[in-house]
Amino acid sequence: MTKPGAERASDARPSGASDEISLRELYLVIRRSAPWIALAALLVAAAAFAWTSTRPLSYVAEATTVVARAPIEVDVGTNLRFRPEVTITFETYDTLAFSRSVLEAVLPHHEAGDLHALRGVLALQRVAGTATQPSTFLAVSHDVRSRDPEVAARAASAWVDATLATVRALSLENLDVLEEVTSDSLVLARARVRAAEEALEGVWAEAAPDALRRGITAADQAALELEAMLREVDRELSERRAERVSLLGFDAGLTAGVVLMHAPDVVVDVAGAVASLDARIAALEARREGAASQLVEVRDERSRLARSRADATARIAELEREVSEALKSLGVLTAIDPNVARVAQLAPSGARVLSPPTVPGRPEPTRATLIALLAAAVTAFAGVVVVLVAEAVRPPSAAPLRT
């Protein structure tokens, strides 16, 4: 009879050897569990094949859109240029395409019950352009899945239209403000022109510069006539005074007749001639005084008319400048307004549908066999890992007793 202690001693292995696992041992462990691993893999593969095969058919409608920055540049002839610089990156496009307003426009055309479910059947793919950097050309593919091919095409069309409408609205955001400001400025410019023209007409009607000019001309003519009259009166006064002085040299008692220069048909004595000359001189002096006073009045009136005409001319020149500036501004805005509208019409033309969605003729391939094989492979690998881990953590069994 062998002793138990000796048996245990003979079965005992070194501690270092017990921690090492050979490839043969791993092979034996996997071989012992191979039927169960194969059975599990077959069951999972069958379940995956059945699940994939029984799923409803899915149809995919595809549409491609293009967002290109058109090289629009409008010169209105006043050193003003318009060039839209809005660029849409794929990241921005993706954000707009999956925005709530766009999805709400698509939801009525799809069988999805809510926006979350709708997001799961929509997909975007970048065909051309960069993801985050601005570029002059961006092409995007819109994919919509549905159990009904017509629903897929209809939803894809709605998604494309709603997305492009949002992109165009973003492109026109700054132009809309510019168009509104230009339109308001045009209204103000027209009102300014009307006000300046009315003020100018009022000055012309009130100041009557033409009448003032005619009055100045008449005053100048009257002044010339009065000056000529004064010269004539002064000449005659000089003659009469000289004649009187010459008569005073005669004997006052002389009875011989005297003929006066201003009255050659009358013959008087010396005393009568002196008296007549005194009366004539007094009349000429009175006439000269009246003409001189009238000349002063005419000159004062002429000065007043000249001042009024100068003020009216300055005011008219100022108002004419205002009218000219207002007309110039109006001309610029009149040229800008249709060009801004033209840019606003051309700018969204860069966002368009390149290929519209069509009703898909065939459903998406289910790939049931491939999915089943992948499921079997994953299950087999997981089974091997489980078996090896279980073998590694299993405690060693007690050695049997021998008699």
CATH code for the domain in which residue 321 is found: 1.10.287.370
Q: Which residue has the tokens 């409803």?
A: 56
List all residues 6 or more positions away from 135 whose beta carbon is below 8 Å from its beta carbon. Answer: 87, 89, 129
**Is the CB of residue 332 less than 8 Å from the CB of residue 77?**
no
| DSSP, res 250 | S
Has residue 174 got a pLDDT over 70?
Answer: no
Comparing C-alpha atoms, which of 336, 337, 317, 314 is closest to residue 325?
A: 317
Q: Helix, strand or coil for residue 326?
A: helix
Q: What is the mean pLDDT of the chain?
A: 75
212 in a domain, yes or no? yes
Whether this prediction's pTM lies above 0.75 is answered by no
High-pLDDT (> 90) share of the chain, %: 5
In whole angstroms, give the CA distance from residue 293 to residue 223.
11
Q: Considering Cα of 387, then 390, then 392, then 397, what sign does the dihedral take?
A: negative
- Looking at residue 15, its pLDDT comes to 43
Has residue 308 got a pLDDT over 70?
Answer: yes
**Is the CB of residue 60 less than 8 Å from the CB of residue 130?**
no
Q: Considering Cα of 275, then 281, then 284, then 285, what sign does the dihedral take?
A: negative
Q: Helix, strand or coil for residue 335?
A: helix
Question: pLDDT band for position 88 (50/70/90)?
Answer: confident
Alpha helix positions (H), 208-269: 209-247
Half-sphere exposure of 315 (CA within 13 A, CB side): 18
Comparing C-alpha atoms, which of 48, 77, 41, 53 is closest to residue 363?
A: 53
230 in a domain, yes or no? yes
For 321-349, write each residue's pLDDT tens digit: 888 888 887 777 676 666 666 555 555 55
279 in a domain, yes or no? yes
Give the residue-averaged pLDDT of 195-223: 83
Comparing C-alpha atoms, which of 144, 135, 133 is closest to residue 58?
A: 144
290 in a domain, yes or no? yes
Note down the domain range covering 305: 189-338
Least confident of 46-60, 159-173, 294-308: 46-60
292 in a domain, yes or no? yes
Greater pLDDT, 21 or 169: 169
Least confident of 9-18, 120-129, 344-353, 363-372: 9-18
69 in a domain, yes or no? no
Has residue 3 got a pLDDT over 60?
Answer: no
For 114-142, write each residue's pLDDT tens digit: 888 888 889 888 887 766 655 567 889 99
In whole angstroms, give the CA distance from residue 30 to residue 22.
13
| DSSP, res 249 | T
237 in a domain, yes or no? yes
Q: Helix, strand or coil for residue 139?
A: strand
Strand pairing class (74-75; 81-82): antiparallel
Has residue 288 got a pLDDT over 60?
Answer: yes
Strand pairing class (59-68; 351-355): antiparallel
- Which pair of tokens denotes residue 258? 């005297």
* Distant-in-sequence contacts of 181-185, Cβ < 8 A, 24+ apart: 182/333, 182/336, 182/337, 182/340, 183/337, 185/333
123 in a domain, yes or no? no
- Which pair of tokens denotes residue 278? 């005194």
For 77, left (φ over 0), alpha (ψ -120 to 50), or beta?
left
The 10 Å Cβ neighbour count of residue 109 is: 20
Number of structural domains found in the chain? 1
Residue 147 phi/psi, 5-degree rounding, is -75, -20
What's the Cα-to-Cα distance from 310 to each of 56, 208, 218, 314, rounded to whole Å? 96, 12, 17, 6
Burial of 340 (0-12, 13-18, 19+ CB in 10 A): buried
